[in-house]
Chain A
Amino acid sequence: MSWRAATVAGVHRETATARTIALQVPGWPGHEAGQHLDLRLTAEDGYTATRSYSIASVADGETVEVTIERLSDGEVSPYLTEVVTGGELVEVRGPVGGWFVWRPEQKEPVLLVGGGSGVVPLMAVVRRHHETGSQAPLRLVYSARDPDSVLYRDELAGLERDGVDIRYVFTRQTPPGWPRPAGRLDDDLLAATAFAPELEPTTYVCGPTGFVEGVASLLVAAGQDPRRVRTERFGPSGGNP
């Protein structure tokens, strides 16, 4: 799989620390919801840095979107979230990854559990599910630090108005009047949101390592089939380099 030249076609601010970058990739073969791409930057002195990012968008010709959270000690993400502008040239390789993928042929219920920027590949699933008019029951559980750190806020609000089942969990600070105090996603909340194991749901969990391993253990302890719980872990940086 070869590297392709790509042009930054647009940069959209999601939160104080995250940007969605639209890439124009001539020859992009299309992708499935949940897949990744590798992005390579080359400095003037020839030094290169490669990072893997989840694709946020659904297949749309030669345009691919990634959403990148700035890591304070990152080497690549500060550039991509603060410096890069339209017209910039980068290289991409992909799509890659065939495991953490949702396909419209899947008819079983789908539970998506995202922590922080782990929501990015899940957003591709929500968009694909919505775009194809899938009848498979779908629920997104999105754990965020506080309301200001929620990615895709307006789009998610619109999807909720269209009937998409979205549950938020705020770990540090909630909106005023929120029914549940700030805190981690726990077994009570998961029990209230997970589909019954008899329905043979497929669950996708993505986020920082500790979050993913914690949620996956709770789901399996609650009777979910471990073979139907698919996980994707970010590193400590939350950036999936």
Chain B
Amino acid sequence: MTEPTHLDGNAAAGVLRDVFAVDITAAVGGCDGCGAVSVLAETRVYVDAPGAVVCCVGCGAVLLRVVTAPGRTWLDLRGLTYLQLGTP
């Protein structure tokens, strides 16, 4: 049996914390592909690509990509219709 290679949203928590002012792994995101709503911590994350690729648990579509290089970070959020963040 081939084991899946994905991790969960926590594997992207550190790099996303570099970009966002708050922890977004506890945020809820809506998938632009299938409409599923999930907590980012529980999404599927692939870190064997350059950077981290965060995928929907419902349909597997890419929700978010983040790639870092010295002095620069690329953030692609096109797979998310929205992010709902907790505010104090």
Q: Which residues of A contact B (CB under 8 A)?
A: 1, 36-38, 50, 52, 93-94, 96-100, 208-210, 230-236, 240-241
- Flag if B13 contacts A52 (CB, 8 Å): yes
Q: Which residues of B contact A (CB under 8 A)?
A: 3-11, 13-14, 17-18, 23, 25-26, 39-42, 47
Residues of A within 8 A of B3 (CB): 208-210, 235-236
Nearest CB of chain A from residue B2's CB, rounded to whole Å:
8
Known: A235-B5, A236-B5. A100 touches B41 (CB 8 A): yes
- Flag if B14 contacts A99 (CB, 8 Å): no
- Flag if A38 contacts B14 (CB, 8 Å): yes
Known: A235-B6, A241-B7. A52 touches B14 (CB 8 A): yes
The 4 closest A-B pairs by CB, nearest first: A236-B3, A99-B41, A96-B13, A38-B14
Residues of A within 8 A of B9 (CB): 99
- Flag if A96 contacts B14 (CB, 8 Å): yes
Known: A234-B7, A235-B7, A240-B11. A99 touches B18 (CB 8 A): no
Residues of A within 8 A of B5 (CB): 235-236
CA distance A93 to B40 in the complex (A): 19
Determine which residue in A97, A230, A231, A240 has the highest number of CB atoms from chain B within 10 A of its CB, and name it. A97
Taking a contact as CB atoms closer than 8 A, the residue among B7, B18, B25, B47 that contacts A97 in the complex is B25
Residues of A within 8 A of B13 (CB): 36, 38, 52, 96-97
Q: Provide a sorted-by-A list of 6 A–B residue pairs whose CB atoms are within 8 angstroms.
A: A96-B23, A97-B23, A100-B41, A231-B42, A232-B41, A235-B6
Residues of A within 8 A of B17 (CB): 1, 93, 96
Nearest CB of chain B from residue A47's CB, rounded to whole Å:
14
Residues of B within 8 A of A235 (CB): 3-7, 11
CA distance A234 to B7 in the complex (A): 6
Known: A1-B14, A36-B10. A236 touches B4 (CB 8 A): yes
- Flag if B6 contacts A97 (CB, 8 Å): no
CA distance A98 to B26 in the complex (A): 5
Residues of A within 8 A of B18 (CB): 1
- Flag if A52 contacts B39 (CB, 8 Å): no
Known: A96-B23, A98-B23, A100-B41. A240 touches B14 (CB 8 A): no
Task: Contacts A38-B13, A96-B17, A234-B7 known; list 17 others, CB within 8 Å.
Answer: A36-B10, A52-B7, A52-B10, A52-B11, A52-B13, A96-B25, A97-B13, A98-B26, A99-B9, A99-B10, A99-B39, A209-B3, A230-B41, A232-B8, A232-B10, A233-B7, A241-B47
Nearest CB of chain A from residue B71's CB, rounded to whole Å:
14
- Flag if A99 contacts B42 (CB, 8 Å): yes
